[in-house]
């Protein structure tokens, strides 16, 4: 059995399939990646909302439009159940009868790197995969899934996931799956050995989105707000100037989460406009960032930038209501600069301590197009 996952969304304009580019500060687009008074050279990035969202989401979950991201667990179903074994030790088998009966609503977990101890667990406990549907492809007409059919290549497996798993997940979620949220559509399929032994069952489901590995989640996806959020104090690592998975803040990272805002407390009914979201998030992120960091001047003194995102209609209609406020530093070229240390204490940006701008006698720079206004400055003494 193998697992495949990636988001189902097309890539936004202005970014290659790996999400490597960002929009510069001079962009006139009024997105939700905001500048909030960071000092420095004036080259701080202003990331528009789609760019910010896809920079955080696509890279964080390893979205690769032109490649198949696969975690290999070999195995096959037979009359004894599932025989699963790792690629490094094909002769060491583990019989697991539970996986062979995994059906819609079942949750699966494992602890070993080769996932050879995969078992069904209660969805209220930690798990890695929630099954939305099991599809026996041998029941489909034609020779493609017949007894002597060849094992499908990665491109065909990707097509099968799009053809079968995306609609299966939508149905399982009652039509309210957020394609930009905390989950991605996953596919479990037989290994080449399993295929050779007659296994044609695809298991479609949901996984917590991540750039590497398969993080555990708790509770059924059908019961969760699907907002892609993290706890305040979480730092997202950095790879090629873009955010990845959470890391300890003492390690290099791109952004630090300062708060989570629930738009449901402000807006009801249909999806609010992006401008309305921006105005609300601007005020809330500045307020909560000041509380988190210990004062309104900290962002300036540490030459950081305040970022936030927005919820599009798809996410809103799927029930997502929450967004993160985060601080980071735009890189000189594209994306983010590496930061070490929590913004609550001493930090290094690109290995250098930030130099606070003067607080008296300096002129207030004109905000970039679409940027959040600077916090109030103290009166000169």
Per-residue pLDDT of the chain (381 residues; tens, 9 = 90+): 556 654 333 333 333 322 332 222 222 223 334 333 333 333 444 444 434 443 443 333 333 222 223 332 323 233 333 333 333 223 223 334 566 788 999 999 988 877 778 889 999 999 999 999 999 898 888 888 888 899 888 898 889 999 999 999 999 999 999 999 999 999 988 777 778 888 888 899 999 988 777 888 999 999 888 999 999 999 999 999 999 999 999 999 999 999 999 999 999 999 999 999 999 999 999 999 999 999 999 999 999 999 999 999 999 999 999 999 999 998 876 789 999 999 999 999 999 999 998 876 554 444 454 555 555 655 655
CA 174 – CA 324 distance, rounded (Å)? 26
Structure tokens at 2: 């193998």
111, 216, 285, 373 from 309: Cα distances, Å: 34, 25, 11, 16
pLDDT at res. 184: 93
**Phi, psi dihedrals of residue 341, rounded to the nearest 5°:** 95, 150
Stretch (H or E) spanning 340: strand 339-340
Cβ pair 201, 135 in contact under 8 A: yes
Q: State whether residue 253 is helix, strand or coil.
A: strand
CA 322 – CA 309 distance, rounded (Å)? 10
CA 2 – CA 119 distance, rounded (Å)? 14
pLDDT at res. 378: 59
For the chain, give every domain's residue range.
22-61+225-349, 70-223
């Amino acid at each position: 059995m193998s697992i495949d996952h990636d988001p189902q969304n097309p890539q936004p304009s202005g970014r290659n399939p790996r999400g490597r580019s960002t929009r510069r500060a001079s962009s006139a687009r009024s997105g939700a990646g905001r500048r909030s008074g960071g000092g420095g050279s004036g080259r701080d990035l202003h990331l528009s909302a789609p760019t910010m969202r896809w920079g955080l989401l696509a890279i964080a979950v390893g979205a690769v439009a032109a490649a198949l991201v696969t975690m290999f667990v070999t195995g096959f179903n037979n009359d004894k159940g599932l025989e699963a074994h790792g690629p490094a030790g094909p002769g060491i088998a583990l019989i697991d009868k539970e996986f062979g009966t995994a059906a819609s609503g079942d949750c699966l977990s494992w602890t070993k790197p080769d996932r050879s101890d995969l078992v069904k667990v209660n969805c209220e406990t930690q798990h890695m995969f929630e099954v939305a549907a099991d599809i026996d492809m041998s029941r489909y007409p034609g020779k493609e899934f017949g007894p002597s059919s060849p094992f499908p290549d990665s491109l065909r497996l990707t097509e099968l996931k799009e053809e079968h798993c995306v609609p299966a997940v939508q149905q399982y979620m009652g039509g309210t799956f957020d394609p930009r949220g905390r989950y991605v559509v996953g596919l479990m399929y037989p290994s080449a050995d399993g295929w050779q032994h007659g296994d044609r069952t695809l298991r479609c489901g949901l996984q917590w989105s991540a750039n590497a590995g398969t993080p555990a989640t708790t509770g059924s996806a059908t019961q969760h707000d699907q907002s892609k959020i993290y706890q305040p104090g979480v730092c997202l690592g950095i790879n090629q100037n873009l955010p990845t998975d959470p890391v300890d803040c003492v390690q290099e990272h791109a952004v630090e989460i300062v708060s989570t805002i629930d738009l449901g407390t402000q807006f009801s009914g249909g999806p609010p406009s992006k401008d309305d979201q921006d105005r609300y998030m601007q005020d809330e992120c500045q307020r909560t960032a000041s509380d988190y960091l210990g004062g309104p001047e900290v962002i300036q003194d540490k030459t950081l930038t305040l970022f936030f995102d927005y919820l599009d209609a798809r996410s809103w209609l799927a029930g997502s209501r929450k967004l993160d406020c985060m601080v980071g530093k735009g890189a000189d070229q594209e994306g983010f600069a590496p930061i070490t240390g929590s913004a609550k204490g001493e930090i290094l940006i690109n290995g250098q301590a930030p130099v606070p701008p003067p607080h008296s006698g300096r002129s207030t720079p004109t905000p970039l197009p679409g940027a959040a206004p600077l916090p109030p400055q103290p009166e000169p003494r």
